Amino acid sequence: MSQLLVSIASFVLVVGVLITAHEFGHFWVARRLGVKVLRFSIGFGKPLIKWQGRDQTEYVVAAIPLGGYVKMLDEREGEVDPQDLPQAFNRKSLPVRSAIVAAGPVFNFIFAIFAYWLMFMHGVSGVRPVIGDVAPQTISSAAGFISGDEIRTIDGSSINSWEEALFTLLEATVKGEAVNVEVIRPEVGLLERRLDLSRAPDALKKSDLLKNLGLSVWRPEIPPLIASLEQNGPAERAGFLAGDRILSANDLSFEGWSEWTKYVRERPESLIRVVVERGGESVELALKLGRKGARCAEGYGYMGASAKVPVGYGSNLRIETAYSPLDSASRALTRTWDVSLLTVKMIGKMLLGEVSLNNLSGPVTIAKYAGESSRIGLSALLGFMALVSVSLGVLNLLPIPVLDGGHLLYYLVESVKGSPLSEEAQLAGQRYGIAALLLLMMLALYNDLVRLIC
């Protein structure tokens, strides 16, 4: 329950801040360009807080935190006092109207730059990019990677963490290019490998990019020692106790917890004979494994027990890097540009069917990751907010009627033909735009529910 509350609170915080940044862009530019703003609302529905500003603008915080709007003086929405006509939105020139509409997405990009800047200055936590198991008969095994290799550069770009490696590999995978990867191999030194991503055309059609490329994150092995048991889970029902050390199953011995986990996952609902060490003696138990994830797939085996993690586990793999204000600003600009460009390319590949629509996420997934980011720390939360802000900026610039990009498309047509589109054409476009957005939202919500159930 506490995790749910954290996720909800984090979702409201993240979405509220990003919506405020977006709508403030419209509001601030409209005011600077002489347009009268009647209402500035964060959220939809019933107003929770409402007050009147000195500028006669009504400020509202509403009950449903899934959007917002800036209502401007406009003759198309009602009668306007003759003395206020110069402040009406529809009376402004085409460049002024375009600037006001574009300001929302632009402020999302500005916020992303600011969030990334704070993140880089505060310090970026990560995990050293040491490769774990390399799946056979994949492009990674063909390139010659082995477990224990640590990635140092990808096409000349310095790589310090798995986050940086994933982002760089994702960019290259979208392009379908081959990349040169420098790795440090223990007791050997610096080696160069060429990873041909053009040979992995389906790598983006499943969510786990590393797995699709045949790579995994290296994790130090821990002993197969049970720390705790799920109440009434398969292990507890079989008679396992906290402190038991797993020695073997069906006469197959185990040295580490990862071996044991893999063995269990491959045998859902199997009955296995397990020997454990308990108090210096060997005890044999009959374990009937359970099955998880079967609602949406074949599922996998589980026993309902967690491993005892040694103190300081993985500490030699964790890194944290902080940068100067100037260097952080440069990195923030570069990261915002790279993420924006990558988002555009991913949307294009989704439309072409080259990237799975399963990658679309809705409010449930956003809430989940917002909660996880807030629990990890400030840097993770800032990075997540920046990423979502960029996504909002790009999505709002799509040429879909009812979005900012749709209005800008109308203005582009107006600049070419010398007059605005007819009201009938604009209304028809809005209907199609609303239908497209509803379908998109339904698909994103469906993906959320599938992830939640499975």
Which SS3 state, helix, strand or coil, does residue 193 take? strand
| Token representation of residue 335 | 């990261």
Q: How far is Cα 257 from Cα 40, in angstroms, rounded to an integer?
A: 55
C-beta separation of 167 from 386 below 8 A: no
As given in the structure block, the two tokens for residue 296 are 């949406």
Amino acid identity for residue 41 in this structure = S
Evaluate whether 138 touches 124 at the Cβ level (below 8 Å). no
- In sequence order, what are the beta bridge partners of 40? 59, 70
Q: Are 436 and 443 in contact (CB under 8 A)?
A: no
25: Cβ contacts below 8 Å, ≥ 6 apart: 103, 104, 105, 106, 107, 108, 110
Does 372 qualify as catalytic in the annotation?
no
For residue 83, what are its two tokens?
Answer: 């003395």
CA gyration radius, the chain: 27
Q: How many CB atoms within 10 Å of residue 183?
A: 24
* Catalytic annotation, pick one of 23, 75, 77, 298: 23
Nearest to 261 by CA among 298, 225, 208: 225
348-380 burial by CB neighbour count: b if 16+ within 10 A, else e?
A: ebbeeebbeeeebbbbbbbbbbbbbbbeeeebb
Residue 290 tokens read as: 């359970």
Task: For tokens 């308990």, name the residue.
Answer: 278
* Closest residue by Cα to residue 209 from 139, 146, 111: 139
Contact between residue 421 and residue 409 where contact means Cβ atoms under 8 Å apart: no
Task: Please give the structure tokens belonging to residue 14.
Answer: 């993240």
DSSP secondary structure letter of residue 420: P
Residue for token pair 């375009």: 98
Question: What is the spatial distance between Cα 283 and Cα 192, in angstroms, rounded to a whole number?
Answer: 49
**Residues carrying an active site annotation:** 23
